């Protein structure tokens, strides 16, 4: 509901200027929300989504979608990335599904490893790297970053040897340097992160406009619908930078309320994970809740200037049908698994 309210506030003017004659963003989001709840009700009551065979099949299916999205004429290009597949008036983003299927499949594999066998297994990394490689071809660095970090959190929970994480960090740094070398615009993003004011009308534009929204708002903000930056200053204020509008309108204290809501979500998810009777359920819930929590932290970190701009949505709140339905799909999986635990 916080998302609907602030999409109404943040996106109405942008929608009237850039999408004149179309349904406002908040109406579309309400439709997406109804569809997302329908998906939730279906998945949460389907034991099929707690089975390993289901997730192996869905993992392969998500890889096929990642290949299809790269085919000219099938994949849609938006903001320089070929990351969407059009289905009539709707679009789907295969990378969102791939993150879930990868974590779920990996959870089942890790549950089969005995404590005395906690060594690196190549197949675990192949399962992670296959979707990452396909997603980077789009390119979508934000989705890859979320998937890799979430997978490493899962491996850490599964007691992978700590000393190996040093190697992971080294490989991560090398990979980051390679990514920057292959696409110089990423270096500009890092430079804009260090000093966005050096190019306030170019690479640092989003970061500067976000800070101009947050800085003057103070503890209580300017009031609901009183944002200034949503009037074509902050690009796409209903999407990645909606938290800027939230802070601008209801201030630091209002932003803290949103953080508390995410904290309660993570706390509840951790509680369900601990109650799980099967190790695969524990890993799955931990991985999914960790993914949502990390994505929220990443988005908020970008908005307040702690992290370079990555183009990641704020779960539950940012505008977008695929994003909203995928998040509700995640919650449905967690509920489905926890229902199985209660029925044992």
27 and 59, same domain (yes or no): no
Mean pLDDT to the nearest integer, 68-88: 82
CA distances (Å), origin 273, targets 76, 259, 296, 329, 340 = 37, 21, 19, 17, 12
144 and 55, same domain (yes or no): yes
Instruction: Evaluate whether 232 touches 224 at the Cβ level (below 8 Å).
Output: no
For residue 249, pLDDT over 60 is answered with yes
203 and 97, same domain (yes or no): no
Q: Which residue has the higher pLDDT, 217 or 78?
A: 217
- Other CB atoms within 10 A of residue 184 CB: 9
Choose one of 103, 132, 156: the last residue of a domain. Answer: 156
- How does pLDDT run across 135-187, given as a tens digit for each residue? 988 888 889 989 999 998 898 888 887 777 776 777 777 777 776 666 666 67
Closest to 296 measured CA to CA, from 190, 150, 187: 150
139 in any annotated domain? yes
Q: Which residue has the higher pLDDT, 193 or 40?
A: 40
The predicted pLDDT at position 171 comes to 74
The predicted pLDDT at position 335 comes to 93
319 in any annotated domain? yes
Q: Which residue has the higher pLDDT, 126 or 296?
A: 296
Say what angle helices 242-275 and 205-214 make with each other, to 10 degrees.
90
246 and 299, same domain (yes or no): yes
The predicted pLDDT at position 166 comes to 74
What range does the domain containing 66 cover?
51-156
Which of 9-18, 34-43, 249-258, 262-271 has the least mean pLDDT? 9-18
Mean pLDDT to the nearest integer, 288-304: 94
CA distances (Å), origin 302, targets 153, 179, 204, 308 = 21, 19, 12, 6
4 and 34, same domain (yes or no): yes
Residue 72 main-chain phi, psi, to 5 deg: -60, 135
Q: Could you tell me the strand order of the sheet in which 90-92 lies? A: 75-78, 81-87, 90-92
Residue 213 structure tokens: 């929204």
Which of 63-72, 112-121, 194-203 has the least mean pLDDT? 112-121
324 and 218, same domain (yes or no): yes
In this prediction the pTM is 0.89
Choose one of 106, 132, 156: the last residue of a domain. Answer: 156
The predicted pLDDT at position 121 comes to 73
168 in any annotated domain? no
Strands (E), 194-332: none
Instruction: Evaluate whether 201 touches 227 at the Cβ level (below 8 Å).
Output: no
170 in any annotated domain? no
76 in any annotated domain? yes
207 in any annotated domain? yes
The predicted pLDDT at position 106 comes to 93
Strands (E), the chain: 75-78, 81-87, 90-92
56 and 36, same domain (yes or no): no
146 and 238, same domain (yes or no): no
pLDDT confidence band for 271 (50 / 70 / 90): very high
For residue 119, pLDDT over 60 is answered with no
Instruction: Evaluate whether 213 touches 246 at the Cβ level (below 8 Å).
Output: no
323 and 218, same domain (yes or no): yes
26 and 92, same domain (yes or no): no
243 in any annotated domain? yes
Mean pLDDT to the nearest integer, 49-54: 85
The number of residues making up the chain comes to 344
Residue 18 structure tokens: 């850039």
The predicted pLDDT at position 342 comes to 57
30 and 60, same domain (yes or no): no
* Total of domains in the chain: 2
188 in any annotated domain? no
The predicted pLDDT at position 329 comes to 94
Helix count (H) and strand count (E) of the chain? 12, 3
Choose one of 105, 127, 156: the last residue of a domain. Answer: 156
The predicted pLDDT at position 243 comes to 95
240 and 279, same domain (yes or no): yes
Round the average pLDDT of the chain to a whole number and report it.
86
Give the integer Cα–Cα distance in Å for 343 and 132. Answer: 36
């Amino acid at each position: 509901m916080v998302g609907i309210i602030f999409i109404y506030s943040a996106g109405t003017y942008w929608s009237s200027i850039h999408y004149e004659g179309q349904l406002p963003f908040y109406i579309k989001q309400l439709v997406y929300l109804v569809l997302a709840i329908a998906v939730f009700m279906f998945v949460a009551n389907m034991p099929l989504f707690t089975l390993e065979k289901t997730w192996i099949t869905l993992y392969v299916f998500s890889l096929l979608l990642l290949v299809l999205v790269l085919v000219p004429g099938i994949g849609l290009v938006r903001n320089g990335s070929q990351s969407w597949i059009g289905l009539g008036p709707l679009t789907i983003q295969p990378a969102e599904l791939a993150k879930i299927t990868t974590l779920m499949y990996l959870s089942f594999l890790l549950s089969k490893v005995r404590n005395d066998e906690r060594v690196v297994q190549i197949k675990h990394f192949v399962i992670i790297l296959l979707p990452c490689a396909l997603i980077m071809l789009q390119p979508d660095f934000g989705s890859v970053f979320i998937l890799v970090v979430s997978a490493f959190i899962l491996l850490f929970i599964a007691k992978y040897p700590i000393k190996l994480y040093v190697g992971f960090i080294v490989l991560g740094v090398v990979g980051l340097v390679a990514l920057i070398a292959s696409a110089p615009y990423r270096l500009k993003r890092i430079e804009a992160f260090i000093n966005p004011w050096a190019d306030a009308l170019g690479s640092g534009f989003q970061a500067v406009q976000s800070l101009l929204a947050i800085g003057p708002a103070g503890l209580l903000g300017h009031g609901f619908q009183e944002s200034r930056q949503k009037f074509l200053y902050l690009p796409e204020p209903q999407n990645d930078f909606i938290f800027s509008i939230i802070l601008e309108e209801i201030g630091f204290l209002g932003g803290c309320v949103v953080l508390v809501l995410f904290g309660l979500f993570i706390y509840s998810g951790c509680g369900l994970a601990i109650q799980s009777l099967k190790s695969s359920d524990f890993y799955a819930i931990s991985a999914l809740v960790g993914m949502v929590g990390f994505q929220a932290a990443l988005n908020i970190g970008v908005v307040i200037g702690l992290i370079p701009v990555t183009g990641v949505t704020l779960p539950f709140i940012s505008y977008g049908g695929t994003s909203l339905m995928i998040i509700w799909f995640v919650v449905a999986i967690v509920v489905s698994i926890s229902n199985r635990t209660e029925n044992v």
